[in-house]
Structure 1
């Protein structure tokens, strides 16, 4: 393994590189809860959630989508540029082939229309930023804006233009304010809500699910912004309780040795450190000012 960043100019650093906000934030253990939270948020768009419910096998593979999403984020964040592009090409090919039916009008629509791609991107990235910050990952306002600007590169990979994607906290707030009238609780959003609280498991795992997973699922739901909680309409944990639970979960994750934690979803970060050296390991010291 290389020992320093001095040689990285000649080594593939990928789309973001070790001195990006993305590199640091995406390694935080709170990203797991942020990922689940983003699924609740995405479910509020009637067409986006219809596309998931009508095309996904999440009922037969309850944790597959979460792990596949984590692996994709890992490839885009820590993989080489070629690896990120290959991963994105697979996602685009899947989306290009899928159609769904609008439950309200009966019209068929494409899954990969820009409006839906933009919604999924914004719901995901916004959840990553807000949940991880709430968990205790400190960022200045400028660093938060920089993260969202960096994530335009991810949006381009799925078929969007960088100039049509919000790139700051203020722009994200404007985007959500504009799209909010189209968001609502639907039968499909209820399917996702129920699934994320009680994913189907064999009978012998039902008691452990109730004890170990359901509180996590509801904690992730409780981390949604207030307007999204109002739209879903289910009672969250009190805000203080949710924040304490989130920070406790993050602390437990940080207690896991990095060599183990960074392998949980995928090996892209481990491979990046093999490629770039240990000094590229996620660290607050590498955050851009």
Structure 2
């Protein structure tokens, strides 16, 4: 009989990386390259993205991004999120970790690949004011929304459930990822980022309609292995609790009746996940090998 922990660990790695060994071929290539990359090991980006709080952040980012009807239309019309949600997750993780841990060349190449994939993403949607509009994944507004919603989610989840980092440093550093994806003058402070989010809401650009409710139902109950469902329910509740009240209300979600219990529970779940995935992720290990190789060569 297979070891139950090993079986569970393999299922967990399959969920996050698409590979039960947690070593997709692109991870090994992060050891290649001729520079240390955009973000050193001492950066706020490494601190946030190396934490398992990114799991809560991923759920929060999906909830937030669904509120912009243009961004949601792109996912609805062009993504296979229903048929292959884990494949989409693995692709997103690949881009995040390549930009975080890869050389500058690898980060630029990964971002250019995503941009090419987005070239065919276009269509029409009804905006928050009921006006029919066309969209393209390269639209400055949509690029900005996705970047800021992502950045907000990762920083907020870390601040609530992980070790504290300098929020301004994280926003300033991760602005480079936004620029790689074509975001013009992304915010470079936590206050500026949160002000932009509130302005989208204040202007009525966001909406929750039947599509949002269907996506929300999918996010609430994704097709995960049975061994992960109880833990995911805690993670989903933690993501909802982390939302600002105005966004939670727009989504029609309620905060947990016992937020302290949720906070304690998600920390336990994330600790178990870290054991299953490994305390130091393979992508981080590959980056450290590249950095050490460059240091040795420069001596």
What is the TM-score of this pair, normalised by structure 1? 0.80
Shift of 1:115: 0.4
* Structure 1 contact 36–66 (Cα < 8 Å) conserved: no
Q: Distance in 2 between matches of 1:77 and 1:172?
A: 20
- In angstroms, what is the RMSD of aligned CA positions? 2.4
CA shift, 1:170, in A, is 1.1
Q: Which runs of 5+ in 2 are unaligned?
A: 1-32
1:146 pairs with one of 153, 169, 176: 169
Deviation at 1:235, TM superposition (A): 2.1
Distance in 1, matches of 2:228 and 2:123, equals: 31
Contact in 2 for aligned 1:219/1:246 (Cα 8 Å):
yes
Structure 1 residue 70: Cα displacement:
1.5
Segment of structure 1 superposing worse, 269-278 or 32-41:
269-278
Match of 1:246 among 246, 266, 281: 266
1:232 and 2:251 equivalent?
Answer: yes
Distance 2:229 2:283 in 1: 32
Partner of 1:33: 56
- For residues 33-182 of structure 1, the aligned pairs below 5 Å read 33-103=56-126, 104-139=130-165, 143-161=166-184, 163=185, 165-180=186-201, 181-182=204-205
Structure 2 residue 236 is the aligned partner of structure 1 residue 217: yes
In structure 2, C-alpha distance between the alignment counterparts of 1:144 and 1:150, rounded to whole Å:
10
Contact in 1 for aligned 2:53/2:162 (Cα 8 Å): no
Query: Per-residue deviation at 1:107?
Result: 3.9
Gaps of 5+ in 1: 1-9, 281-289
| Distance in 1 (alpha carbons) for counterparts of 2:42 and 2:223 | 40
Deviation string 1:39-82 (CA, Å, 9 cap, x unpaired) is: 11111111111111111001111222222212211000001111
Tell me how far apart the structure 1 counterparts of residues 88 and 255 of structure 2 sit (CA, whole Å). 24
TM-score (norm. length: structure 2)? 0.78
**Cα distance, 1:247 vs structure 2:** 2.4
Say whether the 8 Å CA contact 1:12–1:81 is kept in structure 2: yes
Contact 1:43 / 1:49 at 8 angstroms: preserved in 2?
yes
Determine the C-alpha separation between the residues in 1 that align with 2:41 and 2:94: 18
Q: Flag the structure with more relative contact order, 1 or 2, with Cα contacts below 8 A and sequence separation at least 6.
A: 1
Q: Report the Cα offset of residue 17 of structure 1.
A: 1.4
